[in-house]
Amino acid sequence: MHRIFNFSAGPSTLPVEVLQEAQEHLLDYHGLGLSIMEDSHRAKPYMAVHEEAIANIRELLDISDDYSVLFLTGGASGQFAMVPMNLLGAGRVSDYTNSGAWAAKAIKEARIQGGVNVIADCGKEIPTRVPRLDELEYTEGAAYVHITSNETISGAQWPEFPQTSSPLVADMSSDMLSRPFPVSQFGLIYAGAQKNLGPAGVTLVIIRNDLAEVAPDSVPNFYRYRTHMAENSLYNTPPCFPIYVLMLVTRWLKKRGGLAAMAEINARKAAKLYAAIDGSDFYRGTAVPEFRSQMNVTFRLPSEELEAQFVKAATAEGMSGLKGHRSVGGIRASIYNAMPEAGVDALISFMQEFEAKS
């Protein structure tokens, strides 16, 4: 079996064990004679998958019964609209932090629905970072406070989350399940699957039950959280196969020791890579050190020409997806949960060899 190291920001690498199990049952799911993709979403086999996926998320994050776990569609981009549609009532204001490209997209969408106060803005700063806690200037009585926990493009991540009097809402698309955190600190969390959870197509939403009740009646039924809560995410046909793979990924995480164990592994991988960058005059990290992402490591070489050569040579050596986002350039190594430590080690060795030859 030929496998490369996939450093893409998303869709990203998945655990080999998960892919192998999905492959084994692709044509015949546990003796059914058909794939889980072909079975009814109301049938017992899929319902068992659905319920286990929810239970695993609850266990991994220690989620209380005060919250609902939903499987929706539309990715984070869909939630940029759905959050203000549900939580930002007429005449109310929401607080947003601008930490980069994805936070800016969320702000733009929220402004269509109502008032937005940007309570901290470092989205265009170089080196990149997220806001410091003491910079946040909250609006009294805000409907909610929105943050983007990890900016995949800039490589900046919140090391700790703010304590807010208004419900805290977070886009955690690119670092969900990479570390433990207190769900009780948040009113609503959402995450596209294609980074740490599974393949693209399903969006995880964790919402405090009471917040689902504030949606105006003018919001169409499909776009109300309480509609999907009442139907256990089965109001419409869910993305069954992505949810199945998400279930397998959460099983894999549990076998690995849960989020505390995963956080140790992720910290070790990131520390190795940042040490290689900092120990060289050839490579330069692009994020403020205290806000460096453990998921998306971004750096530059002395010239764009060398960066292009780096990406081409790395691809030839079996390391793909290292080209930085088109809006910023540079190099980006996404080292999500499923990136094995051997992949990080291989990249560091390649970086050292490339520098020596340049």
Residue-wise pLDDT tens digits, 337-354:
999 999 999 999 999 999
pLDDT band (50, 70, 90) for residue 287: very high
pLDDT tens digits, one per residue of 289-347:
999 999 999 999 999 999 999 999 999 999 999 999 999 999 999 999 999 999 999 99
Report the C-alpha gap between 356 and 213 in whole angstroms.
Answer: 60
User: Residues with Cβ < 8 Å from 356, sequence gap 6 or more?
Assistant: none
The answer to whether domain 17-255 and domain 259-357 are alike in fold is no
- According to CATH, the topology of domain 17-255 is Aspartate Aminotransferase; domain 2 (3.40.640)
DSSP 9-72: SSS----HHHHHHHHHTSSSSTTSSS-TTTS-TTSHHHHHHHHHHHHHHHHHHT--TTEEEEEE
- According to CATH, the topology of domain 259-357 is Aspartate Aminotransferase, domain 1 (3.90.1150)
pLDDT tens digits, one per residue of 96-136:
999 999 999 999 999 999 899 999 999 999 999 999 999 99
pLDDT, position 2: 86
Q: Name the catalytic one among 39, 95, 102, 175.
A: 102
Domain boundaries, the chain: 17-255, 259-357
Q: Name the catalytic one among 171, 175, 252, 323.
A: 171
pLDDT tens digits, one per residue of 44-81:
999 999 999 999 999 999 999 999 999 999 999 999 99
How distant is the alpha carbon of residue 235 from its chain centre? 24
Examine the residue annotation and report whether 195 is marked as an active-site residue of this protein. yes
Examine the residue annotation and report whether 158 is marked as an active-site residue of this protein. no
How distant is the alpha carbon of residue 268 from its chain centre? 19
Examine the residue annotation and report whether 171 is marked as an active-site residue of this protein. yes
Q: Name the catalytic one among 39, 95, 158, 195.
A: 195
